[in-house]
Amino acid sequence: MTLALRLAPYRGVLRARWRETLQYRLAALAGFGTQCYWGLLRLMILAAFYQSGPADATDFSFAHAVPYVWLGQALLSLFPFRLDADLADSVRTGSVASELLRPIDLYSYWFWRMAAWRLAQAAPRCLLMVVVAAVILPLVGLDEWALTGPAGGAAAGMYLLATALALLLGVAVTAVLISLMFWTVSSEGARYILPAIVWFGGGLVIPLPLLPDGLAAVLGYLPFAGLMDIPFRIYVGHLAGAEALARLALQVGWLVLLVLLGRLLLARGLRRVVILGG
């Protein structure tokens, strides 16, 4: 038997799998194209502002802004724009009570499930976005809009840590909101208002350092800055050294606080469901 013949079944499986993946992925690919467009549009607008305004308008340069915008697009699905539908439904309908029959810690189960799901969602898009923004853009002559590397080794390390914290923080925010649905019943409010707050407070509408200084300072201490703004500014070197470490500590602080709050709300909510009889 020749080698080619031996490998034939594997090749067949591989080809079938590839085709299947491709079919599933078209929608994702379209979404990816959309995000590239958004990134370009935002950069074009920002570039026009930098060219129009005085040179000393901000210490956050256009070179800072470019990676900031691309990272925001690349990591979009890591963040809590919407509540995880089936968890939200299980709380709304009270069917969550049946989860108590399982010998698990429900909060941890929710938490890691959501974290894994978001990571799996974000990873492929993130890789593609890096390829497009860092490799393809310079090739087509758009160097000044290309994603550049992190501001240094220390920045890279702290960035990875800050992004991991951002993911967990996002999950903790969602867990609090889902737990709140034991009381509010209607998830509509959270569904409509949450994305707006996250977009603005995280720095997706415009980078936080470009907001008026007072507003930027206040938003910088809220948990939403820990979702996007802090890791991105560490990456581009706008936050460094002791200040960067302080911001990482801020992320950790919010994470601990929100996890405790989420656990408390979940425990209270479950007790309520059990008493009401689901």
Partner 1 sequence: MAASRGTLRTVPMASGAVWLYLRFAATHFRAQMQYPGALALQIIGSALFTAIEFAGVWALLNRFGNVRGWELAEVAVLYGLVMVGFSAAEATGRGFDTFHRQVRGGGFDRVLLRPRHTVLQVAGADFAFHRAGRWLHGAAILVWGLCNAGIAWNPARVILLAETIAGVTVLFLGVFVAVAAVTFWTVQSLELFAIVSNGSVDAGSYPATVYRRFMRHFLFYLVPIGTVTYFPVAALLGRPDPLGTPPWFGWIAPAAAPLFLAAALLLWRLGTRHYSSTGS
Partner 2 sequence: MSEPLIEVAGLTKRFRVSAGGSGTTGGSRTLRALVARRKVVTALDEVSFRIGAGELVGYIGPNGAGKSTTVKILSGILVPDAGRCVVAGRVPWRERVAHVATIGVVFGQRSQLWWDLPVIESFDLLRDIYRLQPAAYRETRDELIELLAIAPLLAVPVRQLSLGQRMRCELAAALLHRPRLLFLDEPTIGLDAVAKLAVRDIIRRLQGRGVTTILTTHDLDDVEALCPRVLVIGAGSILFDGSVADLRAGVDRERILTVDLEHEVGSFATSSATVVSAAGRRVVLRYDPTRIPTPRIIEEVARDNDVRDLYIEPQPIDELVARLYRNLELEEA
Verify binding: residue 136, partner 1, rule CB under 8 A. no
Q: SS3 sequence, 208-264?
A: HHHCCHHHHHHHHCCHHHHHCHHHHHHHHCCCCHHHHHHHHHHHHHHHHHHHHHHHH
Smallest separation (angstroms) from partner 2 to the CB of 32? 14
From the list partner 1, partner 2, none, partner contacted by residue 13 (C-beta under 5 to 8 A by kind): none
Smallest separation (angstroms) from partner 2 to the CB of 26? 4
Kindly state the tokens that stand for 265. 């709300």
Subset of 39-78 contacting partner 1 (CB under 8 A): 40-41, 44-46, 48-50, 52-54, 57-58
Subset of 16-35 contacting partner 2 (CB under 8 A): 19-20, 22-24, 26-27
Smallest separation (angstroms) from partner 2 to the CB of 82? 21
Verify binding: residue 13, partner 2, rule CB under 8 A. no
Verify binding: residue 161, partner 1, rule CB under 8 A. no
Instruction: Concatenate the DSSP letters of all residues of 138-205 into one string.
Output: HHTT-GGGSPPPPSSHHHHHHHHHHHHHHHHHHHHHHHHHHHHHHHH---HHHHHHHHHHHHHHHTSS
Kindly state the tokens that stand for 101. 């029959």
From the list partner 1, partner 2, none, partner contacted by residue 49 (C-beta under 5 to 8 A by kind): partner 1
Please enumerate in sequence order all residues whose Cβ is within 8 A of that of 266, keeping only pairs 6 or more positions apart, or say none: 106, 107, 110, 175, 179
From the list partner 2, partner 1, none, partner contacted by residue 2 (C-beta under 5 to 8 A by kind): none
CB 216 within 8 A of CB 208: yes
Round to whole Å and give the CA distance between 150 and 163. Answer: 13
Verify binding: residue 278, partner 1, rule CB under 8 A. no
The site for partner 1 (CB under 8 A) is made up of: 26-27, 30-31, 33-34, 37-38, 40-41, 44-46, 48-50, 52-54, 57-58, 186, 188-189, 191-193, 195-196, 199-200, 205-206, 210-212, 215
